[in-house]
Each structure stands twice: as C-alpha cells, then as structure tokens.
Amino acid sequence: MAEVCYVGVDVGTASVRAALVTRDGLLRSTAEEPISIWEPQSDHYVQSSTEIWEKCCTVVKNLKESCWNKAAHFFDLPDFLSWKATGSLTRSLCTLVCKWTYCPPEGWDASFWTSIGLEDLLENNFSKIGSVTCSPGSPLGGGLTQEAAVDLGLVPGTAVGASLIDAHAGGLGVIGADVKGFNLPCEDQPITSRMAMICGTSTCHMAISEQPLFVPGVWGPCLSAMVPDMWLNEGGQSATGRLIDHMVKGHAAYTQLQEQAQQRSNIFSYLNSHLSLMANAHSAVDLLGSSLHVWPDFHGNRSPLADPTLKGMVVGLSLSQTLDDLALLYLATVQALALGTLHILEAMKEAGHDIRTLFLCGGLSKNSLFVQIHANATGLPVVLPDQMEAVLIGAAVLGACASQDYTTIQEAMEKMAKVGKVVQPNQELKSFYEKKYKVFLRLFAHQREYQALMNHR
C-alpha cells in the first residue's frame, strides 16, 4: 500500500517552499523557489501574486520529481492561493481576523468600511472580500480543480485545507506536540500553557486561550485564527535575526570574523564557540554581558509597547574593536532579544495568560546560544521540534485535517508535531538576569526621558 503523504506549502517573503510530510509528521522531501521582489521607490516593495502561484506549482511538481471597482475579489495571499487551487471563495478565518478586521461570530463591521470610503465592499453581502468563512484546515470546495491539479501535477479532487499565515502555520507545527516523558511544566496542562515563537528575520510570539484576553501592545485576541475555537494573542519583535545580522556585519571586526569562520558552517557557530572560550570552563557565557547592554528596538517596538518611534540603544562601548568586542556585542544583542521576549511574557501574564513552556521554530531556533539564552532569561524550558521546518509541518497539518484523516486540528498537531530537544534554563543565572532585566527596562525609561527633554519647549 502506498504511503499517505500531505503537501505543505509555505509562501515566505523571499521564496516559496513545499514539503512532503507523512501522517506521522516526518518530512520526506522539500523544494524551494525564489520570489521576485521589486522596489519601485525607497521602502516600497512589490511582488507578483501570479508569479507566486507559478512558483507554488513549480515546487509541488519538484516534490514529485525528488483599482477597487475593476476587481471582482480581494484576497489576502493565502486565500488567493486557496482560490487558485480549488475555485472556492471561502476565506480562512486566520487571514480575515488577523488582517482584515473580521470579527466572528458577528462578521464584518459595515460602519468601518463606510467610514474609510470603501462602502462598495458591502455589496452582495461582502462578496468581494469574503461572505463565507471557515476555520483553518477545513476542506475547501471539492478539492483541487482539474486545472490546478494539472498545474501542480496532482490528482483532481485532492483535499485542500483552509490556509494559515506563515507564522501561524509555524505555531501550529510546534505548539501541539505530545510532551509526555520530557518532564515539562506544560505536561498534563492545557495547550494554553504553551507559547510558540517563530524566530527568523523578525519574531512572532503566539499564545492561545479559551476565553478572550486583551493584552496591551499585543495583537488580538483573534478567534480561530490559529487553533479553531480558541483565541490567539500574537506578540512580536520587528527585528530579531535582522538585528543580529546588522550588529555583527556592521562591526569593524566582521572581516576578521569571516576569515576565522571559514572552517565552520556559519559565522554564528564560530561566535558561539568563541564566546565559550572567552568565558572559559569556570563561568557561564551569559555573564560576559554584565557590562554591555542593548535596547533592541532598532526598528521600533511592536510588543508590548507598540511604539514605532523607539530606537535602539547600546550602553557600555569602548574604543576597542577586536573580535572579542564583536562577540560581546553579539551576545548582548541576543540577550536583549531574550529580555524583549520576557517583556512580552510579563505583559501576557498580567493579562491572564499562564505560559509555562516556550516552543521555538524558525531559523534562529537553530542557533544554540539564542535558544539557551531565551531559556535562561525567561526562566522557562524551551522545546525544539524534531523537524526543523515547522511552518511546512503546520501547513501539512491543514491538509491532513482537510482530508479528514484527523478529526481535529488538535489531534493532527499532537500526532504530527514532535519534540526534538528540550533546553532547560540555568537556574544559577536567575539573579543575573533579574538584574539585567532591570537595566533593560531602565534603558526604555531613559529613552522616553530623553525624548521628553528634547521635545520640551
């Protein structure tokens, strides 16, 4: 009997990726195609939805081989791809609730669209932007249309699940894993005791609750935006991997770092090892950051302050610009990002969330120092998935539910998402990070004071 597999497709900023995933959540193969990005003017970026669909077709095939009135419909990209695949105009609650101001169960707020001059979208029960909705993973239409099946190289009628935004798919790919036997504080606790972090260029912090919880500076609560019938709160940091790259590549010793790291797989593995040598065997690497402090909002603060005007800060620099100094700046930046996560966790806790375990995925989750420092700074264990492509696993979970091989998203998550590694916090560093966090908060307070002084007339 042929093995049952699901296709997960992830459309990112720079590429389209696809994976063939088994019923047990194992990646059989992956494929990737780049997406064109145009910049017609500074800070304005344009992409082609037609090209994105073509790239989706290409990667799936490769898997098998290894103005308002002129528009009939307006789609968010995930719903556009679903429509191209099935012909169904049903919209996923994920995109409509998170990005389009849709509020289930009431639905669209006609007064909002009228107030911004888009009352034509009210026609035919909002048919242009979505009059029919469903939860992520619900089967769409009759599955793949004949045309889409030919384009993708698949069988007509193949089930297609209602989509998720990429970060939300990553959350789905990790947060529901069976944790029995790993001695975690979230074991035998509801899924609401977990937070998924999708860490890449930026970071999304996904927490769910059974009842709506309003967290200042955090997006949400959004009903059925990730897990059906549960409320999603989404915190975030605007620049994480991007900030680390900025700090490291902009340093005077970066060329020396590149030369030294030639024998290793990447510069960050080298930096992590270099910091271990600097700390020697008698002390933790973290303590090297005791006199260098970073406020990481070089691109504004998304959560929990929701202030795009905030800027980055570095305190503790000297005239020295050696490789050691670069490594320390890298360390202090990672620590600042982890303390930013703690800042978000504190805001969520104050609003009623009870987060006991972090589940990380994305590119930065492959950086052992980034992961360990997040555990140390927050005091929470960090779970890493056994399949690092969590976004693709999450997308495949949708297909598994749409094909009705699993009855619920929760059941599919538990079976297909697997724990790969658990990183425990170093409790001996608790006092260090308590002090470091006080400095972190004071940096923000000082920046506000400086702004007030300069704006005073």
For residue 325 the two structure tokens come to: 């100094």
pTM of the model: 0.88
What tens digit of pLDDT does each residue of 424-453 get? 999 999 999 999 999 999 999 999 999 999
Question: What's residue 404's pLDDT?
Answer: 95
Question: What's residue 38's pLDDT?
Answer: 92
Q: According to the per-residue pLDDT averaged within each range, which of 14-18, 19-23, 149-153 is highest?
A: 149-153
CA atoms within 13 A on the CB side of 115: 4
pLDDT over threshold 70, residue 178: yes
Question: What's residue 1's pLDDT?
Answer: 55
Task: Render 294-305 in DSSP notation, one character per residue.
Answer: EE--BTBB-SSS
User: What number is the average pLDDT over the span 374-400?
Assistant: 95
What tens digit of pLDDT does each residue of 44-60 get? 889 999 999 999 989 98
Q: How far apart are CA 229 and CA 224, in angstroms?
A: 5
Q: Average pLDDT, whole number, for the chain?
A: 94
What tens digit of pLDDT does each residue of 99-141 get? 999 999 899 999 999 998 888 899 999 999 999 999 999 999 9
Question: What are the angstrom distances between the C-alpha of 68 and each of 46, 77, 129, 252?
Answer: 18, 17, 11, 50
Three-state secondary structure call for residue 140? coil
Q: Residue with structure tokens 């991997």?
A: 241
Question: What's residue 61's pLDDT?
Answer: 85
pLDDT band at 67 (very low <50, low <70, confident <90, very high): very low
Give me the percent of the chain exceeding a pLDDT of 70. Answer: 98
Among 419, 417, 397, residue whose Cα is nearest residue 10: 397
pLDDT over threshold 70, residue 70: no
Task: Render 425-453 in DSSP notation, one character per residue.
Answer: --GGGHHHHHHHHHHHHHHHHHHHHHHHH
DSSP structural state of residue 257: H
pLDDT over threshold 50, residue 280: yes
pLDDT over threshold 70, residue 71: no
Q: What is the CA radius of gyration of the chain?
A: 23
pLDDT over threshold 70, residue 177: yes
Angle between helices 390-402 and 409-416 (to 10 degrees): 130
pLDDT band at 163 (very low <50, low <70, confident <90, very high): very high
Domains located in the chain, CATH noted: 5-70 (no CATH), 77-161 (no CATH), 165-456 (3.30.420.40)
What tens digit of pLDDT does each residue of 322-356 get? 999 999 999 999 999 999 999 999 999 999 999 99
pLDDT over threshold 60, residue 281: yes
User: What number is the average pLDDT over the span 17-42?
Assistant: 90
